[in-house]
Amino acid sequence: MSGGRIIVDILTPKQVLFFEPVIRRLRSNGFDVYVSTRVFRETLWLLNRRGIDARIIGVYGGGSLEGKLKASLERCLEMLRFFEEVDPDAVLCFSSPEASRVAFGLSIPLYIANDSPHAEAVARLTLPLARRLYTPRIIPVRMWTRYGLKLSQIVRYNALDPAAWLKGFKPSTEVVDKLGLNIGEPILVARFEESKSAYIPRNSRSPLLALIERISEEFRGFKIVVIPRYEDQVEALEYLEDRVIVCREPIEAANLLYYASIFVGFGGTMTCEAALLGVPTLSLRFYGSYYTEKYLERRGLLVAAYTLDEAMEKLRDLATRWRVMKAKLRGRASRILNSMDDPSEVISRGLILDLEAS
């Protein structure tokens, strides 16, 4: 098939970075690609920054189950109208419940990328409807077949998802300059957990706040930068603003992480980015562990902690050795990253071949 139409539904900042090269490859092969998204501050900012034109359909449902359900149902109806307008030959998404449901309802081939089998709610809603799943090889196939997929439907690549945008990455000092940082001074960057996700316990105070309190008291020689996800997290940090720098505006995180001395996260995308950039990384496993971060731990690119006390102990060690560690980790991370597949090439090639054969 040449000149076909493909809808790519993008819901998060990570998906902007992940699908951007896929979209570029598909268009260079003659496909018309239509991008949809929803109202979500960081995502809209990054789409605009990357020059990706997207139809805004619906809103993020927030933290409550009722809010998520209502937003999803309303978005499905709006997506239906978009699908009828485009009349796509295929749909690509990162387990978008709405894109998956509408594609299935209209009998349109659905292709899904996913590296998060722990996110059971969206996996159960989307994966049984997919023609193909694209996923990192490090995730056992049994984690996907339990959702009803056959082995023949699973395409695995030898990479972690951030390889799609970190291969060939050239850092910029734009973010550190904007935040008033000096790349010659120690910088500790921390990223809040995805507090509104279905797999995070509701109504609990973020453990990162308690950790930042202790870090800011003990590590006076470090500039501490905190990257929130939501406005309530920004507000929760207000009492610490005399001791930490809060990223109130969206940023391209890799340009900050590259210059960081230490990164602290919860095993998500930025944790993976930091580790693959050779930054001494601490992963907080307060909500469980993921296959991606366990792989990075096995390769010596990050350390993990399960309690606040253990986190502080690990951070004290990183704070005394970060210069030597970063010099070693940067070379190791570069070799590991260079050995990885380019997920965008695997996905675009597979999708094109699949559509041509159908």
Q: 205-217 b/e with 16+ CB inside 10 Å = b?
A: ebbbeebbeebbe
CA triplet 282, 285, 290: central angle to 5 degrees?
100
Is the domain of 188 the same as that of 307? yes
The pLDDT, as a whole number, for residue 188 is 97
Closest C-alpha to 11, from 110, 103, 95: 95
Tell me the C-alpha distance between 92 and 21, whole Å: 13
For range 248-268, the mean pLDDT: 93
- Higher confidence at residue 265 or residue 204? 265
Same domain assignment for residues 105 and 204:
no
Task: State residue 203's pLDDT score.
Answer: 56
Angle between helices 308-339 and 207-218 (to 10 degrees): 90
Whether residues 161 and 219 share a domain: the answer is no
In a shared domain, residues 160 and 180: no
Beta strands 154-157; 90-93: pairing state? unpaired
* Residue 223, domain extent: 174-339
Same domain for 128 and 207, yes or no, is no
Q: What percent of the chain has pLDDT over 70?
A: 95
Q: Which pLDDT does position 199 carry in this prediction?
A: 46
SS3 316: helix
Asked whether residue 181 falls in the same domain as residue 137, the answer is: no
pLDDT digits 0-9 by tens, 110-152: 999 999 998 899 999 999 999 999 999 999 999 999 999 999 9
135 and 188 fall within a common domain: no
For all residues of the chain together, what is the average pLDDT? 92
Q: Do 289 and 205 belong to one domain? A: yes
Q: How far is CA 326 from the centre of its chain?
A: 23
> According to the model, what pLDDT value does residue 273 have?
97
Q: Which two tokens stand for residue 314?
A: 């690990």
The pLDDT of residue 242: 80
CB 157 within 8 A of CB 341: yes
Q: What is the CA radius of gyration of the chain?
A: 20
pLDDT at residue 37 in the model: 98
Task: Let me know whether 140 and 225 are in one domain.
Answer: no
Indicate whether this model's pTM tops 0.75.
yes
Other beta carbons within 10 angstroms of residue 69's beta carbon come to 12
Q: What is the mean pLDDT of residues 218-235?
A: 84
Q: What is the CATH number of the domain that holds 67?
A: 3.40.50.2000
Per-residue pLDDT at 68:
87
Band (pLDDT 50/70/90 cuts) for residue 259 is very high
Residues 325 and 178 placed together within one structural domain of the fold: yes
Query: Taking the CB of residue 27, how many other CB atoms lie within 10 A of it?
Result: 13
The predicted-structure confidence for 29-49, as pLDDT tens digits, reads as follows 999 999 999 998 899 999 999
Handedness of CA 63, 65, 66, 71 (dihedral sign): positive
Q: Note whether 100 and 204 are same-domain residues.
A: no
- Mean per-residue pLDDT, 160-180: 95
Q: Give the total number of structural domains in the chain.
A: 2
